[in-house]
Amino acid sequence: MSEPDSIPALPKPLEMAKLCISRAVNQGDIVIDATLGNGHDALFLAKLVGDQGKVIGFDIQQIAVDSASQRLANSGLNNYEFHCKGHQHIAQEVDESVSAVMFNLGYLPSADKSVISQKETTLIALEAAMDLLKPSGVISIMCYPGHQGGEEEAYAVLEFTSKLERKLWRSVKYGFTNAPNNPAFLILLQKM
């Protein structure tokens, strides 16, 4: 098992996502980054799957796709296929099974903060990702209830995942209890 470097004993939510994803992914696997943003998560995934694997990425903003592509290229990686398209279209673009899917919801920090992921499309994408996931695979969803529009989405994801059949899905919530301003939380799903 390879684990991301420099994760403390009690990880932050995104670090916990990476830790759990790293336990479910092997070199050569195909994985999805459903919200590319600036490509930090895609870079993590691309290193994890190695040059025999592939990261399939989605973002609705060209600036995000360009930024993520540049980040991977700067690291000498070309094991990716990025789409400037909403993640609600995952099922049309991906026909391989995947071992992990990362969602990092909300807005692109360096851009227009009114462009945010939306409850309806996020839930469509999440169900498509669940269909594509291999047994034992992991989906991570970073939820941000603290920004305008984020609360409705975050709690919709929480409600949806809380109703999943326990024999089929392990569903876990993780986050700080003592951080201010309705802090981010992580939901992790593992297919049984």
Ligand X SMILES: C[S@@+](CC[C@H](N)C(=O)[O-])C[C@H]1O[C@@H](n2cnc3c(N)ncnc32)[C@H](O)[C@@H]1O
Stretch that binds ligand X, among 47-55, 72-80, 81-89, 169-177 (CB under 6 A): 81-89
- Enumerate long-range contacts of 48-52, CB under 8 Å, 24 or more apart: 48/2, 48/21, 48/22, 49/25, 49/79, 50/79, 51/77, 51/78, 51/79, 52/27, 52/28, 52/79
Candidates 82-90, 92-100, 128-136, 147-155: pick the segment binding ligand X (CB under 6 A): 82-90
What is the number of alpha carbons within 13 Å of residue 60 lying toward its C-beta? Answer: 18
Using CB under 6 A as the binding rule, whether residue 59 contacts ligand X is answered as yes
Closest distance between ligand X and the C-beta of residue 45, in Å? Answer: 9
For ligand X, which stretch binds (CB under 6 A), given 114-122, 130-138, 158-166, 179-187? Answer: 114-122
Q: Of 74, 11, 110, give the one whose Cα is nearest residue 22.
A: 11
Tokens representing 158?
A: 């929480």
Choosing from 91, 115, 156, 158, the residue that interacts with ligand X (CB under 6 A) is 115
Q: Which of 30, 58, 126, 185 binds ligand X (CB under 6 A)?
A: 58
The footprint of ligand X (CB under 6 A) covers 35-41, 58-61, 64, 86-88, 104, 106-108, 115, 117, 121
